[in-house]
Each structure stands twice: as structure tokens, then as C-alpha cells.
Amino acid sequence: MRLRRGAFDGDVHPRARAGTQAQELGRAAAARPLHRTVFVLPSFAGGGAERVLLALAGALDRARFEAEIVVLDGRGPLVPPAGITIHDLGRPRLRHALGPLRAVLRGRKPNSILSTMGYLNLAVLGMAPVLAGRPRLIVREANLPVKSIEAMRWPALARLAYRMLYPRADAVLCNARVVADALSTEARVPSARLHILDNPVDGAAIRAGLVPVREPGPGPRFVA
């Protein structure tokens, strides 16, 4: 008695084989560690720079990235995205926060670090040699460098630090071309590392604000 070739002698239907391969790929993706990205910001006080970084942290694909936030001072009205680990250093002044910040970054071993504000960017870039695993360093510059430098306690030293440390960044995010051009000439950042990233817009919040609100009472309403 002869048996027809089929599943009993090793043949597998193409669809079954494809399904098995898809399952194996799915298991491999699930086993792959997430890319840990740590966002560093000064506070939740409500400034534009802080809002942008929180928006970026909340927009990461949770299937691929693990986002964490390190904040020097966790006080403020801004609410971080849900499900993100917060490391509140409780040190409003940078000089008091340097040690705890370095300890958290070394302990968490992130794949990449994204910071904002000129003085905080300089601190993160300055501690790059002592960070474990050589994470990718991404800094966001929202102001013209000259404005950030003039606001610091020692402008001459800050200008030198910009030229020495900003070229260490793997990427520099700028909210306008004029900022990128200034960093290229004043801080000598290679143009290939400069990227224009417009400020994110919360469309849902804008649409919610467009809902008309009518105060109670009869008669027409005028808007001036």
C-alpha cells in the first residue's frame, strides 16, 4: 500500500510554513530588548522646552522604545505622559544635581539620552565620557546660542563650552533653520548632525478649545 506524500512524510503547506515563520519573528521581536531613551529636563514648570520634550516622550512607539524622564525638580503644573518612569532628583540647581544626574544615567544605562536647555545640554555632554555603554547623545536647542550663552553666569566660559561640547552630540535638534545655522558657525557643530524639528502641536487640545462655550442667559453674544 502506497501513501500519498503529505504532512506525514515531512511536507508542509506553504501557508502553514508562513504562519510558523511569522510566529517565530513575533517571538524574536518580543524577546528583543526595548531601546531605552532617557529624557532630561529641568522641571515641570510649564515652559515651552519642557512641553516639547514631554510631547516627544509621549509620542515614542512603546513597542520599540522604553522612555524614562529625569527631571531636576519635579514640581510644576505639567503632567508627564502616563506609563513613563520618572526620576525626580529634587535638585532645582544644576550644580547640586550633577552628581545625582550622573548616577541615574550610569545606573539606567540608556541607549540614548535626549536633553533640552543649553546649560543642561552642556552638563549631559560633559559627562559623556563616564557614561556606561556610550549612549547616543541628542540635545535640543530652542534658542539662538547667543541668547542661551548671555543668560548664563559666565558667558565667556559658556561660549567655550558650546564650542567644545556641542560637537560631541550625535544629533542636535533645532526648532528653526536660523538656530541650526548659528550652531554650525558659532559652536562648530557638523551640518550632518543638525536636524530641524518643528515644535509639536497638540491637535486634540486645539480642537477641544474650538468647542464654543455659551454663557447662560438670553440675548446675542459678541466677540471683540
Which CATH number does the domain housing residue 65 bear? 3.40.50.2000
* 73 belongs to a structural domain: yes
For 81-115, how does the pLDDT look when each residue is reduced to its tens digit (9 = 90+)?
999 999 999 999 999 999 999 999 999 999 999 99
* 23 belongs to a structural domain: no
* 60 belongs to a structural domain: yes
Q: Provide mean pLDDT across the span 38-59.
A: 92
* 14 belongs to a structural domain: no
Q: What is the reported pLDDT for 206?
A: 59
Q: What is the reported pLDDT for 27?
A: 58
Q: Provide mean pLDDT across the span 185-201.
A: 90
Domain with 89 in it: 32-209
Q: Are 79 and 58 in contact (CB under 8 A)?
A: no
* 10 belongs to a structural domain: no
* 215 belongs to a structural domain: no
Q: How far apart are CA 158 and CA 153, in angstroms?
A: 8
Identity of residue 58: G
Q: What is the reported pLDDT for 50?
A: 92
Number of domains in the chain: 1
CA of 18: how far to CAs of 5, 21, 26, 29, in Å? 20, 5, 12, 16
DSSP 8-state code for residue 2: P
User: Is the pLDDT score of 199 beyond 70?
Assistant: yes
Q: Are 38 and 109 in contact (CB under 8 A)?
A: no
For 116-155, how does the pLDDT look when each residue is reduced to its tens digit (9 = 90+)?
999 999 999 999 998 988 899 999 998 899 999 988 889 9
Q: What is the reported pLDDT for 133?
A: 83
DSSP 8-state code for residue 132: T
* 13 belongs to a structural domain: no
* 26 belongs to a structural domain: no
Q: How far apart are CA 14 and CA 156, in angstroms?
A: 69
Least confident residue range of 2-11, 83-92, 97-106, 194-203: 2-11
Q: What is the reported pLDDT for 19?
A: 58
